[in-house]
Amino acid sequence: MMGSAGDDCHPFGPVRSAGRRYGCRRFAHCFRVTGGSRRPGGLWNHAAMSIYALKPKFQALLRPLVRRLHALGVTANQVTLVACAISIALGVWLYAAAPGPGAFLLVPLWMFLRMAFNAIDGMLAREFGQQSKLGAYLNELTDVVADAALALPFAAVAPFAPVWVATFVVLAGLSEFAGALGPTLGATRRYDGPMGKSDRAFVLGAIALWIGIVGLLPSWAAWLFPALCALVAWTIVRRVRNGLREAN
């Protein structure tokens, strides 16, 4: 569910993927692979690193809870499905019920909790032998569905244009698709930034917090989603480019 490799390879070891785990060389994000050699990747690669790189420290905090959940018989797929269901319920409720700006404060709260769910399901799968083909599908598909549901309420908020929110959702799905295609080419699952899954969750949570606090957004905020779309589009380009480079 929650998600950089290659140029932005996870610097702290194994990361979750379509199959819930792919290896990664330590500090590989600092190098660009060219014809089998490695050389410094430059400032842009560091600037484009995803928030996803903070995940190992977050996982360490959750490890005692994960052990407890495993002892209770909780599975990775159950955690994945529950997180997706909550995301859908929250997104649809905010859009359909229109409860008021204050209700958007639930979004950053859930985004944080969802990060925990995402880390927990990956740890259960990787550390307790729960990896499965079904889990690989659920891992990718539920992320896209949940992301779309959580973006839906913003289409009803002025001054955001629904067409840009919809474009953001489509591009976000394509970025995850581009990342998941890496293993089919002999590369790792790509998590390149600058607008990966964790980054999108952070930005949407921040916007929702802004809405919840101030209520009415200024007119210039209409440019936020076009800007986000541009960043996600660049993320797609980087994932494809770096996936091809790694595979070659």
Q: Which residue has the tokens 């600058």?
A: 194
Domain annotation covers residue 82 = yes
pLDDT digit string, tens, across residues 63-121: 999 999 999 999 999 999 999 999 999 999 999 998 999 999 999 999 999 989 999 99
Instruction: State residue 36's pLDDT score.
Output: 38
Domain annotation covers residue 49 = yes
pTM recorded for the entire structure:
0.77
pLDDT digit string, tens, across residues 166-224: 999 999 999 999 999 999 999 999 999 999 998 999 999 999 999 999 999 999 999 99
For the residues of 13-56, what is the DSSP string, one character each?
S-B--TTS-B---TTGGGEEEETTEEEE--HHHHHT--GGGGHH
Domain annotation covers residue 1 = no
Q: Which residue has the tokens 């921040």?
A: 206
Domain annotation covers residue 228 = yes
Give CA angle at 243 (203, 167), nearest 5°: 40
End-to-end CA distance of the chain: 27
Domain annotation covers residue 117 = yes
Structure tokens at 62: 């959750």
What residue numbers bound the domain in which 75 lies? Answer: 6-247
- For residues 126-148, average pLDDT: 94
Instruction: Name the domain count of the chain.
Output: 1
Q: What is the DSSP letter of 119?
A: H
pLDDT higher than 50, residue 19: no
Domain annotation covers residue 193 = yes
Q: What are phi and psi of 134, to 5 degrees?
A: -65, -40
Q: What are phi and psi of 60, to 5 degrees?
A: -60, -40
The domain that holds 60 is classified in CATH as: 1.20.120.1760
Decide if 179 contacts 197 (C-beta within 8 A). no
- pLDDT tier at 60, thresholds 50, 70, 90: confident
Comparing C-alpha atoms, which of 188, 220, 212 is closest to residue 4?
A: 188
Give the amino acid at 58.
F
For residue 166, how many C-alpha atoms fall within 13 Å in the half-sphere facing its CB? Answer: 4
Lowest mean pLDDT among 18-22, 57-61, 133-137: 18-22
Domain annotation covers residue 78 = yes
pLDDT higher than 90, residue 59: no
Domain annotation covers residue 33 = yes
Instruction: State residue 27's pLDDT score.
Output: 34
Decide if 154 contacts 204 (C-beta within 8 A). yes
Decide if 192 contacts 5 (C-beta within 8 A). yes
- pLDDT tier at 134, thresholds 50, 70, 90: very high
Decide if 114 contacts 69 (C-beta within 8 A). no
Q: How far is residue 243's CA from residue 186's CA, in Å, rounded to a whole number?
A: 9
- pLDDT tier at 14, thresholds 50, 70, 90: very low
Q: How far is residue 184's CA from residue 205's CA, in Å, rounded to a whole number?
A: 32
Decide if 156 contacts 145 (C-beta within 8 A). no
Decide if 189 contacts 217 (C-beta within 8 A). no
Q: Which residue has the tokens 């549901």?
A: 149
Q: What is the DSSP letter of 100?
A: -
